[in-house]
């Protein structure tokens, strides 16, 4: 998932995408443990996708707090 696609999601959609990405990472780890994962670079890509989604989620939290007047400028 590209950052543009992730930013287009609403909050529940983003949470669902994070959950799907975590499940994908779990399955990749499981396949690696069984020796059935030929392309181990997919593990790194999955971790980065999760991090990207969490970053977008956190950006939204920060902007929501800023707009509510709870924090200084980001």
CATH of the domain at 59: 1.10.287.310
Residue 72 in any domain: the answer is no
The residue range of the domain holding 19 is: 3-67
- What 3 state SS string does the chain have? CCHHHHHCCCHHHHHHHHHHHHHHHHHHHHHHHHCCCCCCHHHHHHHHHHHHHHHHHHHHHHHHHHHCCCCCCC
Residue 73 in any domain: the answer is no
In this predicted structure, the answer to whether residue 74 has a pLDDT above a threshold of 80 is no
Residue 28 in any domain: the answer is yes
Residue 19 in any domain: the answer is yes
Tens-digit pLDDT profile for residues 16-63: 999 999 999 999 999 999 999 999 999 999 999 999 999 999 999 999
Residue 45 in any domain: the answer is yes
pLDDT at 32 (0 to 100) = 97
Residue 14 in any domain: the answer is yes
Provide the number of structural domains found in the chain: 1
């Amino acid at each position: 998932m590209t950052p543009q696609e992730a930013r287009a999601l609403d909050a529940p959609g983003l949470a669902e995408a994070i959950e799907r990405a975590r499940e994908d990472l779990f399955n990749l780890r499981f396949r690696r443990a069984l020796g059935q994962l030929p392309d181990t670079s997919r593990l790194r890509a999955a971790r980065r996708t999760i991090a990207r989604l969490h970053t977008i989620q956190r950006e939204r939290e920060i902007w929501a707090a800023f707009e509510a007047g709870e924090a200084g400028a980001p």
